[in-house]
Amino acid sequence: MSEQANDITLDDPSPASVPSRQRPAAEPAAGAMLPNPDACVAERTARLDSKQLRADFVRQDAFLHLEDFLAPEVTAQLVASARALVPQINRNYLPGHKQGGSVSRHTIDELAPFIAELYRSKALIGWLEQMCGEKLLVSPDSDPHAYALYYYTRQGDHIGWHYDTSYYDGRRYTLLLGVIEESSCRLDYELHTRNAQVPDEPGSVQTTPGGLVFFDGDKLRHRITPAGANEMRVSLTFEYVTDPGMRPWLRFISNMKDAVAYFGFRQVFKRLVPGQKPRS
């Protein structure tokens, strides 16, 4: 049990109740040195056996797990941002399916732009393209999942079995980066569920700080098991697509799901009203 975990179990104020002047600085004060995320990723990926990892990704039906991926200084910055953004958490509860908190890309853009910079790292995207064998694009500005933090901070926080379904015209890849792991939560998964020729292959990992899970959202069946009392788990996910087009009715379904299950109506819909100035 950590002091942080105890702090988090107090009622978290919603984003709307936190005046701007009280918002935490999720990054060091001006003048403090931040790591260069692109250079850090380039240095780390140069050390990896990418050919072997690509083979692993294919063999596991578009899934890869690495326990140690990010440079320690990058992980440290993500941890600092995740803790500083706790007052911005939007809590959600869908009986029987999920319970937890999240901070969308819109809030991250305003308060933790280092994360947005890491998301757009050319070195990162280039290496992920090597793994999946496809050209990857960043998600549209309106997508709150493009980069988001997910918090498991109260007993029972979890998400049930699901796919990261693509509502886009192309495929949707998920990159999950471990940020804080002070919990008993597991990422359980099943490989090959969409391939009738290959038996399902179950697996389970802890998403340790700086570790990576990369997968095709429509292929990997997965869940996060429930957090215990006084535990804390935070993950950061990046979403990349192969075609960012989306049909209008799928856009509507996607927006409703995001509003109800993740980020709240304010975050999802205020940004879609023409002429309305977005707020976090």
Site residues (vs Fe ion, CB under 5 A)? 164
Residue with CB nearest Fe ion?
Answer: 164
User: Closest CB to Fe ion among 164 and 231?
Assistant: 164
What is the closest distance, in whole angstroms, from the C-beta atom of residue 217 to Fe ion in the complex? 7
Whichever of 164 and 181 has its CB closer to Fe ion, that residue is: 164
For residue 21, give the 3-state DSSP assignment: helix
User: What φ, ψ does residue 156 adopt, rounded to 5°?
Assistant: 95, -10
Q: Least distance (Å) from Fe ion to the CB of residue 216?
A: 12
- Given the complex with Fe ion, which of 44 and 222 has the nearer CB atom? 222
Instruction: State the nearest-atom distance from the C-beta of 222 to Fe ion, in Å.
Output: 6
Identify which of residues 123 and 227 has a Cβ nearer to Fe ion in the complex: 227
Tokens of 76: 């440290």
Please name which of 135, 164, 189 lies closest in space to residue 239, comparing C-alpha atoms: 164
| Least distance in angstroms from the C-beta of 241 to Fe ion | 15
Vertex 24: Cα angle to 11 and 152 (nearest 5): 45
Query: What are the counts of helices (DSSP H) followed by strands (DSSP E) for the chain?
Result: 9, 12
User: Which pair of structure tokens corresponds to residue 279?
Assistant: 């707020």
Cα 96 vs. chain centroid, distance in angstroms?
22
